[in-house]
Structure 1
Amino acid sequence: MVNARRRAVESLYKGECTVKEKRSIKDPITHITSTKEVTVLENQKCKISYEKQTSSTKTNAPAIIVQTTKLFIAPEIEVKPGSKIIVTQHGKTTEYARSGEPAIYTDHQEIALELFKGYA
């Protein structure tokens, strides 16, 4: 049963995501195993959050700006390391890779993301 607090958190989700993994698939006819991209989750409600961090020094060097991207999603969803996560939010679709271990809370989990550059 989903409690009121979780419903409140999930009401903030404005995006949807698809999670894909690379898996070894054996062809039943040729018996050749090849690696294929497999969709493991589709149209899952979620939210992307961006945080910018600025680092300045006492020198005349330009400030360094780093952007952190987090995915907010239901706590029971498992996203394996190395997965491709395709998020559509506010009309924009972006491909990400999971980075780091998720922070799992009672009503949601937060997964640090980085832009997808290819499977490892």
Structure 2
Amino acid sequence: MNRLRLYRSVLETNYTDRMTIFRMQDGKRGGETVLTLEEVSVSLPCRISQTGLAKNQQTSVQNDIRYDAKLFCAPEWDIRQGDTIDVTRGARTRRYIAGEPFPYDTHQEVGLQRKDRA
């Protein structure tokens, strides 16, 4: 086994999370072309890591959740900037927006941003 394959197999032992990738696609509705969010890949192994502490965006009306995270996954998964990615860890699923992927021979890293309301 060459070194890159060995290193990749070690990295993949950490992929205990699962992701589903959604992408804006052209669709038809009533003869009209519309953009819809379509599921393009389901239940792919990955690992998510928080890159910084969440920013408290509490106001008297709403509490916004905003933070950055990093996704680690196999280099062959087709992730594009702007994709919506649902990451499941255990029983909890959270939704993120993907930044531009950074590919390596053994894996890829994707900056994610979470925006939600508490």
TMscore range, shorter length: 0.7 to 0.9
Q: Secondary structure at the match of 1:16?
A: strand
Q: Which residue of 1 aligns with 2:101?
A: 102
State the alpha-carbon separation in 2 of the partners of residues 77 and 89 from structure 1.
19
The reply on whether 1:10 has 2:12 as its aligned counterpart is: yes
State the shift of 1:67 in Å.
5.3
Please say if residues 84 and 116 of structure 1, whose CA atoms lie closer than 8 Å, have aligned partners that are also in contact.
Answer: no
Give the CA RMSD over aligned residues.
2.4
Please say if residues 18 and 87 of structure 2, whose CA atoms lie closer than 8 Å, have aligned partners that are also in contact.
Answer: yes
Q: Which residue of 1 aligns with 2:86?
A: 86
Higher strand share: 2
Q: Which residue of 2 aligns with 1:61?
A: none
Q: Which runs of 5+ in 1 are unaligned?
A: 54-65
Q: Which residue of 1 aligns with 2:23?
A: 21
Indicate how the Cα distance of structure 1 residues 31 and 79 shifts in structure 2: closer, same or farther if over 3 A, else same: same
State the alpha-carbon separation in 2 of the partners of residues 7 and 51 from structure 1.
24
Q: Which runs of 5+ in 2 are unaligned?
A: 54-65
- Greater Cα radius of gyration, structure 1 or 2: 1
State the alpha-carbon separation in 1 of the partners of residues 67 and 115 from structure 2.
15
TM-score by length of 2: 0.75
TM-score by length of 1: 0.73
Q: Secondary structure at the match of 1:70?
A: strand
Q: Which residue of 1 aligns with 2:114?
A: 115
